[in-house]
Amino acid sequence: MRGNLIIAGQGVAPTSMGLTNDFSYKNFTLSIFVDAKFGGEIYSATNQLGARYGLSEITLPGREGGIAVSGTDVSGNPVNTTVSAYDYWRSYSDVTSNFVYDADFVKLRAVSFSYNFPKTYLSKTPFQSISLAFSAHNLWTIYDKVPNIDPESNYSNSNAQGLERASMPLTRNYGVTLNVKF
């Protein structure tokens, strides 16, 4: 039975934070950036469709023998019966609030490892300084509560935050940087 419309959550996380730190030893520097957001919610149509069509792990129970349900019907009469997994998960997927999740996350957003060549190596060259760095971004989701999707997923490229449907996770990027000063 359809209920009243409710506010299911806040699409924009009210709390965001980041922590960055540099560790240096001799001519080497390691930089680490950890990013986090808390307090937002996300509706996942990917998880809803996975449940609807039996593609999600949550739909495994009841595939053999059905699912026992109990409750009341629209007249208030008690109901104790077994329904097929197909019927159960199709009905379950019609309830939007079943697919609203806390979008809290903590991610290792970036790591950079660099080497600054000593000035003694550069004394007979036209260079004032040379550094070489390796960097990587979007390396690891340390913590999140949303199954099967990236908690930063989005429905479109507009400002429609808190909605997700068949989106791809953020890409992991690697790079090498050579910085030369004359």
CB under 8 A, 24+ apart: contacts of 76-85: 85/54, 85/59, 85/61
Residue 122, SS3 per DSSP: helix
Percentage above 90 pLDDT, the chain? 66
CA distance 117 to 20: 24
Mean pLDDT value across residues 143-153: 91
pLDDT (0 to 100) of residue 170: 83
Is 74 a residue whose pLDDT tops 80?
Answer: yes
Q: What is the pTM (predicted TM-score) of this model?
A: 0.80
Is 2 a residue whose pLDDT tops 80?
Answer: no
Sheet with 28-38: list strands edge to edge. 15-25, 28-38, 105-116, 129-144, 173-181
Of 101, 64, 65, 69, nearest to 88 (Cα)? 69
pLDDT digits (tens, 9 = 90+) for 4-28: 777 777 888 999 999 999 999 999 9
Residue 1's pLDDT band, with cuts at 50, 70 and 90, is low
CA distance 174 to 138: 9
The answer to whether the beta carbons of residues 37 and 14 sit under 8 Å apart is no
Q: Which two tokens stand for residue 25?
A: 């030893």
User: Mean pLDDT for the chain?
Assistant: 90
